[in-house]
Amino acid sequence: MLIKSRKQSDLPENQITPESAYVSRRSVIRGLGAGLGLAGLGGLVTAGTGAFAAEAKRKPLDFTRDKPDPDLVLTPEAKVTNHNNFYEFGTGKTDPAQNSQDLKVEPWTLTVEGEVAKPGTVDVWKLMADTNLEERIYRMRCVEAWSMVIPWVGFELGKFLARFEPTSRAKYVAFETLYDPQQMPGQRNRIVGGGIDYPYVEGLRIDEAMHPLSILSVGLYGKTLPPQNGAPIRLVVPWKYGFKGIKSIVKIKLVEKMPPTSWNKLLPQEYGFYANVNPAVDHPRWSQASERFIGPGGLFSVKRQKTLPFNGYGEEVASLYTNMDLRKFY
Ligand code: MTE
């Protein structure tokens, strides 16, 4: 069943962050920002205007929602927005929230080019207003063995790409993040940026991109994305490790050959192109058999649980990989 949801009051009880929690969270984070952010990185990173300065700028979205799966416990919004990887803003988990708040996300354009009959550039904010957005509550699994359940808002990547009329030579889809060293301290300094060769790039095979579970997300928890989660538009592919979810995308190119991907370029033995969640294949430095679910509750209530093949989406996506040795194509 689809419910049209416009207001926060439509959200089920467990999805709402009380305003009081919000306010206190804000002040706690501001406090941290003044000390750790600057001291920790020796002043290499601009402090920004404090975490959650951009929170006030997040806009409510108009979207449809499937009836929530009662078995899925959501990761609280404060954890989704404060435990991130976005190396353009530093390699620590709280660096993105700390350092990305001044990222200018409006206006923003996204170019689709390459093997398409109708290449073009879209105004992302207009796209958001003109597209039927839907909420997708997805289990997410990071290669670092933590997981979250996140209520994304977005639209199917495949439907979006179809508008540009991919040609028969379009075998892969290459994605690129904004390159703007002035705004992104990690792009100015190799240490802050974790050694990645920027701009951050990612890729999917065309059938993966066209799969209805693959979305371009423009929001979470009913509002536009905060910068640290990849505002204004990012990729979400729930059966793959989190690093596939490239943030703040400015370019999508349909191509004939498998495109390079940032983590594969940096550490090819550890990160392959496919990056399907596979508990049977260990990361060279740790096991992938289980994960720590970041849910409601404090640090000591973090639950370790078994990781499922394809992150639990095997029924929907395993057929994309028939006859492939997924140990070889990791
Ligand atoms: N996109 C860009 N541009 N830069 C990054 O460093 N990190 C990736 C991915 N997308 C990253 C990125 C990794 S390693 C993960 S786990 C996810 O973003 C984290 O997404 P989240 O902040 O929504 O949890």
Counting from 1 in the atom list of ligand 1, the atom nearest the Cα of 220 is: 23
Confidence of residue 51 (pLDDT cuts 50, 70, 90): low
In eight-state DSSP terms, residue 16 is P
Tokens matching residue 182: 């002035």
Domain assignments of the chain as residue spans, ordered by start: 13-321
With CA atoms as reference, report the closest residue to 185 among 193, 175, 174: 193
Token look-up 């804000």 returns 26
Nearest Cα residue to atom 5 of ligand 1? 86
CA 258 to chain centre: 21
CA distance 29 to 101: 12
User: What pLDDT was estimated at residue 24?
Assistant: 31
Q: How many A from CA of 241 to the centre of ligand 1?
A: 10
For residue 296, the one-letter residue type is: P
Q: In the CATH hierarchy, which fold is given to the domain comprising 13-321?
A: Sulfite Oxidase; Chain A, domain 2 (3.90.420)
Question: pLDDT digits over 77-95, tens only?
Answer: 999 999 999 999 999 999 9
Q: How far is the CA of 1 from the centre of ligand 1 (A)?
A: 31
Q: How far is the CA of 84 from the centre of ligand 1 (A)?
A: 7
Q: Given a cut of 70, is residue 63 above it in pLDDT?
A: yes
Tell me the per-residue pLDDT of 52-61, one tens digit each, with 9 for 90 and over.
667 888 999 9
**3-state SS, residue 223:** strand
> What single-letter DSSP state applies at residue 65?
E
Amino acid of residue 88 = E
Dist. CA 117 → ligand 1 center (Å) = 31
Q: Of 56-60, 93-97, 117-121, 308-312, which gets the smallest average pLDDT? A: 56-60
Strand segments (E) across 30-178: 63-66, 109-114, 120-123, 133-141, 146-156, 172-177
Q: Check if the beta carbon of residue 55 is closer than 8 Å to that of residue 26.
A: yes
Six-digit token pair at 5? 């949801």
Residue 132 pLDDT > 60, yes or no? yes
> What letter would DSSP give residue 283?
B
Whole-model pTM: value is 0.86
DSSP code for 31: H
Ligand 1 mutation target, pool 77, 79, 81, 85, most atoms within 8 A of CB: 85
Task: Judge if the beta carbon of residue 187 lies within 6 A of ligand 1.
Answer: no
241 Cβ inside 6 Å of ligand 1: no
Non-local CB neighbours of 172 within 8 Å, separated by 6+ positions: 203, 204, 205, 206, 254, 255, 256, 257, 258, 259
Pocket flag, ligand 1, residue 125 (CB < 6 Å): no
Burial of 13 per CB tally in 10 Å (0-12, 13-18, 19+): exposed
* Three-state SS at 24: helix
Ligand 1 atom closest to the Cα of residue 144 is 16
